Structure 1
Amino acid sequence: MITIKLIKDSDFKVTVKLKSTTQHEVHVSNDFYNSLTDGKVSLENLIQASFEFLLERESNNSILSQFDLEVISHYFPEYEKEMKRRLKT
């Protein structure tokens, strides 16, 4: 289960409850958000899809505790293309 709470502006606290519970602070820049979604989906939906993407590839314990969402593509080059496909933007 993935829970997303707005902290402030573009900063979110994400809690992932699986075998173990982890918490993550995630920042999403406006430029990155718009480049992936064209503003057609909410920030929360983008974060949800991003964590689902990550959890398909690694355990929640392996996900960084604090990061900018765009960093995901440094580890997984297919991330941006996959988000556009999943979010149909």
Structure 2
Amino acid sequence: MATITINRLDDQHFEVAIQAHSPTTHCVTVAPDYAAKLTQGKFSTEELVNRSFDFLLARESNTSILRSFDLAVISRYFPEYEGTINRS
């Protein structure tokens, strides 16, 4: 089981470290309007990032996750992403 650590760099940028068999670090950008759309005010942007990485890790290994990306790109690879996050 991977351990996810999130470090908020500023309002839109996060560094995500995943401790697993092969540790990885990821730089993630989250636009405030996109975060608001997905969280609907029910949880923080940090929690959104955490849930997003849980979502990704359920589908691929941490070494397959892009090292730097905007959170909105997940739905291009996994169309069910936004609906799943909204139901979490």
Q: Give the TM-score normalised by structure 2.
A: 0.95
Instruction: Choose which of 23, 26, 39 in structure 2 pairs with 1:24.
Output: 26
Counterpart for residue 41 of structure 2:
39
Kindly report which structure 2 residues correspond to 1:55-74, keeping only aligned pairs within 5 A, or say none: 55-74=57-76
Runs of 4 or more above 6 Å deviation: none
CA distance in 2, matches of 1:37, 1:76: 18
CA distance in 1, matches of 2:40, 2:61: 29
Please provide the CA RMSD for this pair. 0.7
Alignment coverage as a number of residue pairs: 86
Q: Give the TM-score normalised by structure 1.
A: 0.94
Counterpart for residue 84 of structure 1:
86
Query: Which stretches in structure 2 are left out of the alignment for 5+ residues?
Result: none
- Measure how far apart 1:81 and its partner are: 0.1
CA distance in 2, matches of 1:70, 1:10: 12
After alignment, is 33-42 or 57-66 more displaced?
33-42
Counterpart residue identity of residue 83, structure 1: I
Q: Residues 7-48 of structure 1: CA distance to partner in whole angstroms, max 9, x if unpaired?
A: 122100000011110000001001110111122201111011
- Measure how far apart 1:75 and its partner are: 0.1
Query: Which stretches in structure 1 are left out of the alignment for 5+ residues?
Result: none
